[in-house]
Amino acid sequence: MKERVAVRNLRLCTKECVCLYVCPTGASDTENSIIDTEKCTGCGICAEACGSGAISMLPLTYPKQQNHRENIIKEMRTLLRRKTEAEGTAAALPGPFARALERSNRVMAEDIIREAGYMLPQSKNTHDLLEKTAAGSGPEAAAKLLSLLDVNE
């Protein structure tokens, strides 16, 4: 049974297409440039051959989310709010420094939310968040993700 699959970041892909020639199953040879995870065996040959670094190998099962004390999570949420506000402020300002500041705050916010347990797809925190989202205004994407992701806790 495979433990990982190949995925392509289309923004990094330079269309050199070496992956098409080295993939033993043809999983990377698709019309929409998205690797067919059903055909992918997880061998990683395409990722090794990709000169632009656009192909990564992702595990099918992620590790269990680390537990944090409630006061730590509360502080992470406070810091996340501040970084989100700072990103919004920077977005309203002109110039390249403001763009860099906006991006920097976005990356820090993503790191904080990941550490707080909301970006590991199989964590209970993520499932709880998706359930709240699906129950609210009802985005179908949240419901679909819930049906595809198993909880590993």
In this prediction the pTM is 0.56
CA–CA distance, 109 with 146 (Å, rounded to integer) = 23
Domain of 13?
Answer: 4-59
pLDDT of residue 123: 77
105/82 same-domain check: yes
Average pLDDT over residues 45-55: 92
pLDDT of residue 28: 85
Inside any domain, residue 65: no
What band does 86 get if pLDDT is binned at 50, 70 and 90? Answer: very high
Is pLDDT of 94 > 80?
yes
CA–CA distance, 124 with 152 (Å, rounded to integer) = 7
Mean pLDDT across the chain: 85
CA–CA distance, 149 with 51 (Å, rounded to integer) = 31
75/125 same-domain check: yes
78/123 same-domain check: yes
pLDDT of residue 138: 59
CA–CA distance, 114 with 54 (Å, rounded to integer) = 22
Inside any domain, residue 86: yes
77/144 same-domain check: yes
Please count the structural domains in the chain.
2
Inside any domain, residue 153: no
55/88 same-domain check: no
Output the six-digit token pair for 69.
Answer: 């004390």
Is pLDDT of 118 > 80?
no
